[in-house]
Structure 1
Amino acid sequence: MVSAPAGFGKTMLLESWEALSKGPDMISWIALNATTDQPAALLESVVDGLHRRSATLSDEPVLFALEDQPGQPTPTHLAVVEQQLLVLVVDCGDLTVTPAFGQTLHRLVHGNAGRVRIVLLTRSDPPVPLHLYRLAGTVAEIRAADLVFTTEEAGELMRLQNLDLAPTDLAVLLERTDGWPAGLMFAALTLAGKTDPARAIREFRGDTGNVSAYLMSEVLDAQPTALREFLLRTCIVDEVRPALAKALTGRPCDRRSLEFIAHGNSFIQPVPGTDESYSYQSLFREFLRAQLLFERPTLALALHHTAATWFAQNGQRLEAIQHAITARRWCDAARYLVEDLDFAGLLVGRQRRLLTTLFAGLPDDLDGADAAIVRATSALAEFDVARSTSELRRARDWLDHDVSTPARASELAITVLQAVCASLGTDVDAGLDAVLAAEAALRAASGEPVIARPDLRLLMAGCKGRVLLQRGDFPAALAAFTEGVAIAETVGVHEALADFLGMSALVEAVWGHLRRAAELAAHATALAESGAQPDEPQSAIVAQAWISTDRGELTEAQDLVHRAAEAAPTHDAHVLAAALALIRARLLRSGGETELAGAELRAASNSYGTQHDGWLNQSLIVDEAKTLVAQHLPREAIKVIEHSPGREQAGSLLVLRRAAIEAGDRKPPLPRAATHRTIPLETQVDSWLVQAAESLRTGDAGRGGLCLERALRLAAPEQLRRPFTEAAPSVQRLLQPTGELMTRHPWLRAPDHLRAHDRAIGSSGHQPGHAPADVARVVPLTCKEHEVLEYLADLLTTEEIATTMYVSVNTVRSHVRSILRKLGASRRNEAVRRAWELGLLPARQQI
């Protein structure tokens, strides 16, 4: 039995077999179709005739004329008969095998064992006891799964049609056709003469052209009326299940019914890995949907509405939304999105792009709180906080006037979206209050399973981390972003993962943990380079620029600033813009362009908003005051700080003290918390540098040296160099190349190739605020590279390092190559020597 739908090459297979057959069997063909009169009687008469003719044959081989081949004008095939074994090929074509025909077939099989072999070509299984044949071993079955084309066969077919497809294009074509032979041939006809095969394959569909005509005449029109109706009504869904099929057709349907349909029709097959789900072949599904719309467009809309209701009742909200939108039931679609708090998926998560596309056509004048909430979320996705706030007010008005239905999910959605809007605003305190209120509301509703949605948790983690970073609560901000990293990794949302890694890197960078920041930023960048997500996140680029600036790697920092400006914006754009302004101003100040640096900071302050005392806001003001001090305008610097909302912050008091000393005014007390671990490392170092400058100014060189030493020891582990380039001139004089401090802290000295570049800029002296030529700029090593470097210094081999670190030899070699590149060395002992010079390793006797 060869059982497969139309277009699987059943007849061609048998013709090829006959042509290759060299046996003595007598082969005869019978072609049946809808016009065949009493096919069962015809079958019996043909077999009887074959027996009679076979009995008259002598022992000598003779030629025997066979029946005409189906589909051929008058060909005559000859076979040599040496035995009385007959092979009867029965090609049923598009004829459905009736019970009477099946009974006749069974009698012939049962009563002619050993004399007649029957080859049945059919599009559906005949009503014969196949299970008994299988037990007796008297049936061989060839089905559609055996006839579909493999990758190699499809490639050979395309080459025979003079088409040389790339492996990726061939794979897409196989996926579109599921290996259906007729579909591949139609595709070959479509691709002939096309200059862009990849595009032609993507556009190859089942609802147009030859494919549609073939499926109509050979498949759909050949189905019984009831099955035809079933196919048209159930084709609107991607997966057919018994309960769903019952809802769409209005008729009872169980798993056995779907199994029966699938067994006789390869265009609907079980979904792998499921118990009762079935799916249509993609080209056939496209054809059926187009035919349904053509024949009964009103029914198509009604079926989509029915499917939407069924999916919603069974907890499959995304499918419910898709069908509701197709049915033009926008209110239902919006309700489904809000009821389960799936609105967060418009802003973050794996379905963000799909949901954005689905709701792109949401009418602006659609009434109802849910519709307003969806429009508010879509506005936030486009960074339009004002429009989102307006839509949220409309949603609140709808809820206040509509008391007929429960609105708990809508209330919660509004609260969450208000928190998002507040976190994007200029009032950091109000933003934190709104975020905490939203978290409390979510905890209060924690009894509902919908609250555990990862998209919602990602959204809240981003909002919380954003406002805490602006406030300067680095431990809490890092905890929020780290939570976002964990959630994104768990659910596989790579885009959100890269953003959270980048923001974590920025927190670590501004906190002064430069090595850890570099590792996080590198991880975020690696996601983009691996193709896991499309673009390198702006947050990671800004974090890298901050690190390079703090370490004095000015050229690299400039490049990163340009890259950050061209990166795609995110919801952290407001924060990142302020951070970039700080970086640009510091780069300008390092090059002596203090006026431009001041203008940059003032513009950023006006844009960011300076009415609150958050850390980021005050950092713009502090850096402006530092720029004024570098311009020898201490009184203007004092005025800037005293009129700022964060004048009591440690960084503000330090620059105020330095400006007061230069102006000859009474200096304010040193901030008590300037050395606390939660204070940025830069501020801690600045505290000692200010004290060093004061001591040197009063002639206490001993205490000045001690304070400078404390600053250097604090900065050394992270190679934080910028505070020393911006220190008072009296402090910078102690950091000359031949000085004792530079000898004890060689990490502050630039490598030769960078030092030469600095001298080319200006070796005769440096402008106010410009770094001494020998203050180092070096690419940082990661924690793992530091560990490998220490083992290299201990003269361990690559294999020994790999064993000690529990990593592969190739991983160690990669670390070594990176170390050599970063330290500008060509050999291991040269890298170790350079590390000693830079203070990356404890000083010891050189090799």
Structure 2
Amino acid sequence: MTFVPDVKIAIPSIPPEFVVRSELRASLEAARAAEVVLVCAPAGHGKTLLLADWARTSTSADTAWVALDRDDNDPRRLWASVVASVLACAPVPSTSRLHQPPVWRADAQPEFLAELVDALGALPRPIRLVLDDVHELVDADALHGLQILSRNRCPGVQLVLSSRFDPPLSLPRLRLAGRLHEVRAAQLRFSRSEAEALLEGAGLHLEPAEVDLLHRRTGGWAAGLRLAASGAAAASDPDAFLDRFSGDERSVADYLVGEVLSGFPDDVQEFLRLISISEPVPTGLAAELSGRQDAGCLLDRLEHDTALVSSGGRHRDSYRIQQLLRAYLRADLNRHGVERAAELHRVAARWWADRLEPVPALEHAAQGQDLDLLTDLLHRFAVPLIAAGNHGPLRRALATAGAQAVGSDPWLALTSALAHLEAGELITARGDLARARRSWPAHDPAGLAVLRAVAEQFSAAVDTPIASVPVDPVVAAVVTENRELPVEPELEALAHLSRGTAGLGREDLATARAEFEAALHLSRDEGFDYLMMQSLVLLAVVAGSAGDVRTMRTMSGEARAAAAEHGWTDSSWSSAATAMLAYAALMRTETSAAERLAVEALGLSSTASSPQLWSVLRGVHGAAVFDAGGRAAGLAELQQTRAEFGDRPADAQPVAALAMLEFRAALLLGHSTAARTVRGWLADRSGETAELMVMQAWTDAAGGRPEHARSVLRPVLHDGVGAVLAHTLVDAWLLEASLAVAHGDRPAARSALQGALGVAEPLDALRPFLHAGSGVRELLVHQLGTFGAFDGFAEHALTAGRRGAQQRHAMLSERELTVLGLLPSMLSLDEIADDLTVSVNTVKSHVRSIYTKLGVSSRRLAVLTAHEHGLLTTSLRQV
């Protein structure tokens, strides 16, 4: 009888640091009806410990365990081990033929196995027969015996096979019959939480970001995690060890070579080494790199048999090598010769370029050590990358090309300028522009001229008013339409952006809108997502300049959504869209939204590179703080913003907006000297504008000179003095209405209020009504219902910026709300009592309670306060 050592048939012990895989354990336990269980994954995935844990915790069956090795290719030894493991795992009746060794003759295998199956089936309790490391079996007789055992149905016996690759059994037949339960490498990979538990158990206490890094690098491979933990524990600088931990680390490399790669034939190892330069590697590229026409079949077989590669993509025809293995293979490839690796990268660069995939093409070209190839690909793909928003790969490729190549090639210099502009690196971008000018060819092609025009305009616009952007002859030829548009769609779209920007600078809004719309449509059709975002922002600017606030808000919202979708929220274009949305929210008295949007954009680094954008956002934030009740803090922020912005050149609109916000805040707080300072700052930067006149009129009104104030307003309201900001006219009409009310000129006041509503409604300009004064708000209350098409907006204007409406609504009883709803009418209290069929004393009691709760002393003030807090609406008054 063949001797079988106890260690061979003992269930492995569980180490103290073992991480319980609860879901996998439950999955195995739930598969008790499956006749065959296959746990298949490469070395180091924790197959043995998983099964040992299951065997030691499960009570549904007794477990017989056999640890297979090469010696088990002798069928006599193999089946002797199986019998010994069964006899050791559970009581076996004395009548069982398992106790009769002479019966078991290995030289009569079919009969032997038939009797074995019968004997196992006769056992009194269910048994689980675990054969660990089945991949060690290569002998035909041994494998044939295993095939017979798996094919024969044996009630009460579950066959559990653990292997590094699929054993040569009839797995498809078992799978189709529902007799097979499988656990593969994907299920055995440690989750992030399991990886953290494993590292903690090994005594390695890491920060969450370090756990994330190791989990990502190892792909949840248990052996990789354990090697990282043991290596860090032995290292003098654990942090440095973990930072450089990869497949080329000595312990990992030894494991990969000894336990993983050594099982592959030499040609498969070479194949993996060659394709390791690409991540991912499509089957076509794998064939190109390796020269093997069967590359796709080989990759598919490697995925199926080993799980060391995994497929993906729409048609599952692109593969990824396990990350630590790939790191080792790449390092090993370089050890075989750096030039060989570089040549493979060049092959990959051309392959991706032929398929119009610029990002991987440039990345491989950068590693191919061929400047001519890299330059050629940059000429082909730089502008499409800019249009699509892939600035990072472009900057890396340009950096690899080197300053000398970029400086001597205007095309590269201009694309470098645009890439650095998007990164907020203004000084570097302008250096690139200077180099492009110095190396400019005598006869420049249309595409090159367009690139220069856009780069010059966008560079200057960062800190120069659009109207003041200098136009050199090359740029002028593009923006004045003296040159044909390039045939390449990305360059054509850029040409439209350039011409639109020039039109915006000339205040030719119709031309600007038409050009930006052309750029937008072309970008959408061609999938130029970044140019689409830029076009939307510029269309929002045009709409804002034309006073079309609703379109400005819509376009800015679409631009922000595009930025969020593609990860461009830190770009200056996204910040500009956010600034416009924040300003629109401020004008709509959506104070919290305005403050939130301003804070969000101010936190982005791109904002700091544009002083004009920064000042607008700071101004909106200060004004929002002011409107929310922090008046002193809001004014202080507005003052600091203006002081820090100083005398920098800027477009007229942001300057006027900043000045108007600060001036109004200062005057409302009674700081007349501060208000005069703001007015002087604006006067120094602009000609005679409506904003300066309104500021003067506000000052006169506050100083008790109403007639002079009205005379100052007259040119704004009647003589066509131009306003920089569309809503300045709303301020002017509201001030006129307030002055007319104070003068007792009710008809003039009503007319001015009607004028204010007419201008404000399409602008969604509610904020001017927030600070218009009680006289205007009272007039609004009494005239509500007489404004025709503007009645709805007038009601919104009454409640602009209200706070605490819900609390006050809760303070009033239902009957008090009913009485309140009748107070704006001309009914006397007696008539109100008759209408409600209650006594007049009851009505008087309700009225007194209403006055107390609203903090007022008259019916007129009660109606006004109720409107301001949203307690009175059209629907309420009709009750």
Question: What TM-score do you get using the length of structure 2 for normalisation?
Answer: 0.61
Counterparts of 1:284 and 1:395, CA distance in 2: 44
1:612-665 deviation line (CA, Å, top 9, x unaligned): x7xxx9578668867997999x9xxxxxxxxxxxxxxxxxxxx9x968968xxx
2:530 paired residue among 455, 467, 470: 455
Contact preservation (8 Å) 2:690, 2:721: no
Contact preservation (8 Å) 2:517, 2:535: no
Contact preservation (8 Å) 1:335, 1:371: yes
SS at match of 2:272: helix
SS at match of 1:279: strand
1:343 paired residue among 383, 386, 391: 386
Counterparts of 1:712 and 1:111, CA distance in 2: 92
Cα deviation, residue 182, structure 1: 1.0
Cα deviation, residue 259, structure 1: 1.3
Instruction: Indicate how the Cα distance of structure 1 residues 233 and 50 shifts in structure 2: closer, same or farther if over 3 A, else same.
Output: closer
Residue 801 of structure 2: aligned partner: 780
Cα deviation, residue 231, structure 1: 1.5
1:499 aligns with 2:575: yes
Contact preservation (8 Å) 1:29, 1:91: yes
Residue 846 of structure 2: aligned partner: none
Residue 681 of structure 1: aligned partner: 727
Instruction: Indicate how the Cα distance of structure 1 residues 454 and 358 shifts in structure 2: closer, same or farther if over 3 A, else same.
Output: same
SS at match of 1:680: coil
Cα deviation, residue 689, structure 1: 3.6
Cα deviation, residue 359, structure 1: 5.3
Residue 375 of structure 2: aligned partner: 331
1:481 aligns with 2:586: no
1:545 aligns with 2:593: no
SS at match of 1:289: helix
Cα deviation, residue 180, structure 1: 1.8
Q: Mapping of 1:69-468 within 5 angstroms?
A: 89=131, 91=133, 101-102=139-140, 105-106=143-144, 109-110=147-148, 122-127=163-168, 129-132=170-173, 134=175, 142-150=183-191, 154=195, 157-158=198-199, 160-162=201-203, 173-190=214-231, 192=233, 204-253=245-294, 255-271=296-312, 275-327=316-368, 329=371, 330-332=374-376, 334-340=378-384, 342-344=385-387, 363-365=402-404, 366=406, 367-381=408-422, 388=429, 391-392=432-433, 395=436, 400=441, 410-421=448-459, 423-424=461-462, 425-428=464-467, 432-433=501-502, 440=515, 443=518, 451-466=526-541
Instruction: Indicate how the Cα distance of structure 1 residues 842 and 354 shifts in structure 2: closer, same or farther if over 3 A, else same.
Output: farther
More helix by share: 2
Instruction: Indicate how the Cα distance of structure 1 residues 43 and 562 shifts in structure 2: closer, same or farther if over 3 A, else same.
Output: farther
1:565-624 deviation line (CA, Å, top 9, x unaligned): 9999xx998775774455445545555655655555666777xx65xx7xxx95786688
Instruction: Indicate how the Cα distance of structure 1 residues 153 and 388 shifts in structure 2: closer, same or farther if over 3 A, else same.
Output: closer
Residue 46 of structure 1: aligned partner: 77
Counterparts of 1:388 and 1:535, CA distance in 2: 17
Cα deviation, residue 828, structure 1: 9.8
Cα deviation, residue 371, structure 1: 1.2
| Range with greater deviation from structure 2 (481-490 or 361-370) | 481-490
Counterparts of 1:492 and 1:136, CA distance in 2: 48
Cα deviation, residue 196, structure 1: 12
The amino acid that maps onto 2:768 is L
Question: What TM-score do you get using the length of structure 1 for normalisation?
Answer: 0.63
The amino acid that maps onto 1:521 is A
Cα deviation, residue 202, structure 1: 6.7
Cα deviation, residue 456, structure 1: 0.3
SS at match of 2:77: helix
Counterparts of 1:198 and 1:394, CA distance in 2: 43
1:836 aligns with 2:854: no
1:59-105 deviation line (CA, Å, top 9, x unaligned): 588799xxxxxxxxxxxxxxx99958997957467x7x76xx35762
1:4 aligns with 2:41: yes
Cα deviation, residue 215, structure 1: 2.0
1:678-729 deviation line (CA, Å, top 9, x unaligned): 9733323325646986999xx996777667766897899835269768xxxx
Cα deviation, residue 242, structure 1: 0.9
Counterparts of 2:337 and 2:343, CA distance in 1: 10
Cα deviation, residue 224, structure 1: 1.9
Gaps of 5+ in 2: 1-37, 86-91, 102-115, 122-127, 470-499, 505-510, 783-796, 817-849, 857-861
SS at match of 2:310: strand
Counterparts of 2:579 and 2:178, CA distance in 1: 67
Cα deviation, residue 226, structure 1: 1.6
Residue 558 of structure 1: aligned partner: 635
Counterparts of 1:214 and 1:316, CA distance in 2: 36
Counterparts of 1:112 and 1:478, CA distance in 2: 69
1:718 aligns with 2:766: yes
Counterparts of 1:173 and 1:121, CA distance in 2: 27
Instruction: Indicate how the Cα distance of structure 1 residues 273 and 200 shifts in structure 2: closer, same or farther if over 3 A, else same.
Output: farther
Contact preservation (8 Å) 1:187, 1:201: yes
SS at match of 1:264: helix
Contact preservation (8 Å) 2:274, 2:290: yes
The amino acid that maps onto 1:515 is R
Cα deviation, residue 260, structure 1: 0.5
Instruction: Indicate how the Cα distance of structure 1 residues 498 and 389 shifts in structure 2: closer, same or farther if over 3 A, else same.
Output: closer
The amino acid that maps onto 2:729 is T
Counterparts of 1:142 and 1:461, CA distance in 2: 51
The amino acid that maps onto 1:780 is G
Instruction: Indicate how the Cα distance of structure 1 residues 685 and 836 shifts in structure 2: closer, same or farther if over 3 A, else same.
Output: same
1:446-482 deviation line (CA, Å, top 9, x unaligned): 7798744121021133345446656877677556535
Cα deviation, residue 271, structure 1: 2.9
Residue 816 of structure 1: aligned partner: none
Counterparts of 2:416 and 2:525, CA distance in 1: 21
Cα deviation, residue 262, structure 1: 0.8
SS at match of 1:233: helix
Cα deviation, residue 44, structure 1: 4.0
Contact preservation (8 Å) 1:521, 1:541: no
The amino acid that maps onto 2:718 is P
1:126-170 deviation line (CA, Å, top 9, x unaligned): 455543555577876554345334567546544543457788876
Counterparts of 2:208 and 2:100, CA distance in 1: 49
SS at match of 1:275: coil
1:508 paired residue among 576, 584, 592: 584
Counterparts of 1:352 and 1:565, CA distance in 2: 34
Instruction: Indicate how the Cα distance of structure 1 residues 332 and 675 shifts in structure 2: closer, same or farther if over 3 A, else same.
Output: closer
Counterparts of 1:272 and 1:567, CA distance in 2: 52
| Range with greater deviation from structure 2 (831-840 or 683-692) | 831-840
Counterparts of 1:52 and 1:518, CA distance in 2: 81
Counterparts of 2:766 and 2:317, CA distance in 1: 59
Counterparts of 1:194 and 1:438, CA distance in 2: 63
Counterparts of 1:52 and 1:840, CA distance in 2: 87
